[in-house]
Amino acid sequence: MGDFVEKVGQALVLPPGGLIVLALLGLWLAWRDRRGGKAIVFVALATLWLMATPAVSDALRGHLESMHPPIAIERVPEADAIVVLGGGIAPPTSRNPQPDLGAAADRYWHAFRLWRAGKAPEILISGGAQPWRDAGSSEAEAAVRLLTDLGMPADRILLEPASLDTRQNADFSATMLRARGADRILLVTSALHMRRASAHFESTGLEVLTVPTDHEVRGDPPSLLRWLPDSDALDGSRRALKEMLGHRLRR
């Protein structure tokens, strides 16, 4: 229930939901002839426009991704285990019996490449299924099919299928790893997510070596088109702000 309430709260605070609520408040104030109502509507709509532009979206995401640039695999040190966080695969549903790879599925491919390069003896996949979603399994269980199809032996894969957020990813994974005598990990997740994720894992006392992947922001040249609204850019801004808010609140 707590996770559901948190999701609702995020929808009402982060764009576009938070800005729509703000615009509705401004409309109500204007209808009531209250001072500032029209200004609130203008600010909400102008901010929504900016958040939906590639220029602003790339700046927000690029700020977070610049903290964790790509690392060549040969430069990655060895560790006791590779931990890859969920968020890249949608589990099977009643309408689709196969796992659905998302934009962040790079996480699993990169974790496999690290394992194949001998950087750690096993991979721990951390990610559950939200109880209000139509899911036939946890994401961790769905990811096993991808890794085994890539050629990884099933006995080298550990599952943590109960976590519902990044904090639980860290807490539940740390318990499993310590039971196996593992203290030094390679943490694999999207570069956008790495600052928040590494803070949670470091708080468990594990030695965390970050290996970011799934870098999204390209070096596109300046253009007027980058100031026109785009739905993908709006989603990117929302995810970046979610990471910033989550890091501050340690969620």
In the chain the domains, ranked by start, together with CATH numbers, are: 2-66+229-249 (no CATH), 73-212 (3.40.50.620)
Query: Collapsing DSSP states into helix, strand and coil, what is residue 125?
Result: strand
Stated length of the chain: 251
Confidence (pTM): 0.93
Residue 1: per-residue pLDDT:
53
State the CB neighbour count (10 A cutoff) for residue 66: 11
Distance CA 209, CA 89 (A): 23
Beta strands in 76-141 (DSSP E): 81-85, 89-90, 100-101, 123-126
Distance CA 53, CA 2 (A): 33
Distance CA 159, CA 128 (A): 10
Q: Kindly list the strands in the beta sheet with 81-85, ordered across the sheet, starting from the edge strand earlier in the chain.
A: 157-160, 123-126, 81-85, 184-190, 207-213
Element (H, E) at 158: strand 157-160
Please enumerate, as own/partner, the contacts of 14-17 that have beta carbons within 8 Å and a separation of 24 or more. Answer: 14/238, 14/241, 14/242, 14/245, 15/47, 15/48, 15/51, 15/234, 15/237, 15/238, 15/241, 16/48, 16/51, 16/52, 16/234, 16/238
Residue 9: per-residue pLDDT:
87
| CB-based contact 91:138 (threshold 8 Å) | yes
- One digit per residue, pLDDT tens: the chain, 251 residues? 557 778 888 889 999 999 999 999 999 999 998 889 999 999 999 999 999 999 999 999 999 999 999 999 999 999 999 999 999 998 888 888 888 999 999 999 999 999 999 999 999 999 987 776 777 788 999 999 999 999 999 999 999 999 999 999 999 999 999 999 999 999 999 999 999 999 999 999 999 999 999 999 999 999 999 999 999 999 999 999 999 999 988 76
Distance CA 83, CA 207 (A): 12
Residue 184: per-residue pLDDT:
98
User: Would you give the DSSP letter of residue 210?
Assistant: E
User: For residue 210, how far is the Cα from the chain centroid?
Assistant: 15
Torsions phi, psi for 160 (to 5 deg): -125, 90
Tell me the sheet residues that pair with 85.
126
User: Would you give the DSSP letter of residue 134?
Assistant: -
Distance CA 23, CA 25 (A): 5
| CB-based contact 145:92 (threshold 8 Å) | no
Residue 14: per-residue pLDDT:
95
Q: How many helices (H) and strands (E) does the chain have?
A: 9, 7
| CB-based contact 243:197 (threshold 8 Å) | no
Task: Report how far apart, in Å, the C-alpha atoms of 36 and of each of 22, 33, 187 are.
Answer: 12, 9, 48
